[in-house]
Amino acid sequence: MFSRDSLTPLKMLLFSFHATNTIILSYLPLYLKYKGLNGTEIGWVLAVGPLASIFAQPFWGYMSDKYKTVKRIIQICIVGLLVTSVIFFQMNTLLAIILMGAIFYFFVTPIGALGDSLAQRRAEHFGVSFGAIRWWGSVGFATSSLIIGEVLTRVGIEYMIIPFLCFGVLALIVSFGLTDVKVDSEPVQLRDVSAIIKNKSFVIFLLLIMFLTITHRANDSYIGLYISQLGGSEGLVGFAWFTGVLTEALVFATAGIWFRKYHPLVFIIIAGAIYSVRWFIYASVDNPLHIIGLQFMHGLTFGVFYLAAFNYVSRLIPKLLQSTGHLVFFATFFGVSGIIGSLVGGSIIDSLGGETLYYGMGILATMGTILITLYHLLPFGKEAYVHQRDQ
């Protein structure tokens, strides 16, 4: 159906998977509320995803590097997603939902990282921009946020599994058209993975970007609640997601024009500075429509930051361990940062309000931007070029 060199299956995979991800990220809290869970219980369920990703991301990354295939691991995870989601959505008690949710997220969370890892390798193979491939995921997210929101408003949140399975099955079908990138090396061994842990630049970089990623993940979890506190409706929450992800897609799509001009750390610093300004402005507004109008900053923060950070990690990690390195990065961004952002952010917004939460996020992002700037000026930040030459 597709030629071996076609990027269409990969683009369709990113589109369909991120469409399913929209459904989980945007509407699972409403579904759990429909199931009868209170806010605290919903928070525990949402924390299961980042927790599972801390274990799932490195595990599946290691398996991908060991057996030298991203395609087959993606297919295993998609099959796991489809099977476990059916069981997960049948659970009714808190304990059953949490336990089944952990298994469900174990298969779900690595797919995005593996897809991006394959996109990075294919982009290098064809000499095209990674963003030009990755933006299809953002298009899927934005499209789903509008269409599925309208569908669920009409038919009821209890039927959210139907569009979820539809996009999931589509992802599985197109995955058979994927092409792996050949790696001419011996299969990775556990002892090889220690090279990642011993890579000081990589470890320090992950620790520093958490100052930014914690704020990003806190916003993911609580922007809807903050809009609600400001008097906004659920419809405005959906439109906020659409607006933000649309600008993210534009940033990815145009990355080939602007991204290669400077060192990726320069773009991370720029994104960090915009993150700081963004959170301080969010903290100062008193109208939910102002949040919608400012959501274009999502593309200038997450879009720029993610492209640059993913590229920098690819420079730091030897090609033999690319999948493992990418998934460790994902585990830090969406796992550890997700847990901290959700738990601490939830406590702050409940006790002190959204304004205080966003002011705190602004301060944290400012600290992170300063530290990453220092990192860039010190030898650790320049070590990526050494790794890149040695690969």
Q: Residue 52: which of 113, 99, 7, 105 has the closest Cα? A: 105
Residue type, 243: T
Q: Which residues of 54-73 are buried (b: 16+ CB within 10 A; e: fewer)?
A: bebbbebbbbbbbebbbbeb
Residue 242's H or E segment, with its range, is helix 234-253
Any idea which residue has 């990703």 for tokens? 53
Q: Residue 346: which of 19, 50, 1, 31 has the closest Cα? A: 50
Pair 328, 57: CB distance under 8 Å: yes
Read off the pLDDT of residues 191-229 as tens digits, 9 standing for 90 and up: 666 777 778 888 899 999 999 999 998 898 788 778 878
pLDDT value at position 389? Answer: 42
Read off the pLDDT of residues 17-42 as tens digits, 9 standing for 90 and up: 999 988 887 778 778 878 888 766 77
End-to-end CA distance of the chain: 35
pLDDT value at position 95? Answer: 93
Q: With cut-offs at 50, 70 and 90, classify the pLDDT of residue 390.
A: very low
Torsion sign over Cα 323, 244, 14, 46: positive
Q: With cut-offs at 50, 70 and 90, classify the pLDDT of residue 385.
A: very low
pLDDT value at position 183? Answer: 57
- 62: tokens are 């290691």
Burial class (CB in 10 A: 0-12, 13-18, 19+), 1: exposed
Pair 250, 307: CB distance under 8 Å: no
- Give the C-alpha separation, 148 to 89, whole Å: 17
Helices marked H in 331-378? 337-351, 354-377
Q: With cut-offs at 50, 70 and 90, classify the pLDDT of residue 5.
A: low
Most confident of 96-100, 129-133, 150-154: 96-100
- Give the C-alpha separation, 125 to 127, whole Å: 6
pLDDT value at position 275? Answer: 97
pLDDT value at position 179? Answer: 87
Q: What percent of the chain has pLDDT over 70?
A: 90
Least confident of 131-140, 184-193, 215-224: 184-193
- Give the C-alpha separation, 284 to 270, whole Å: 22
Pair 268, 372: CB distance under 8 Å: yes
Pair 64, 114: CB distance under 8 Å: yes
- 43: tokens are 């928070």
* The pLDDT of residue 365 is above 70: yes
* The pLDDT of residue 89 is above 60: yes
- Give the C-alpha separation, 20 to 140, whole Å: 9
* The pLDDT of residue 164 is above 90: yes
Q: How many CB atoms lie within 10 A of CB 260?
A: 10
Pair 272, 371: CB distance under 8 Å: no
- Give the C-alpha separation, 177 to 97, whole Å: 34
- Give the C-alpha separation, 281 to 174, whole Å: 42
Q: How many CB atoms lie within 10 A of CB 173?
A: 15
More confident call, 327 vs 193: 327
pLDDT value at position 391? Answer: 46
Pair 193, 317: CB distance under 8 Å: no
- Angle subtended at Cα 66 by Cα 61 and Cα 67, rounded to the nearest 5 degrees: 105
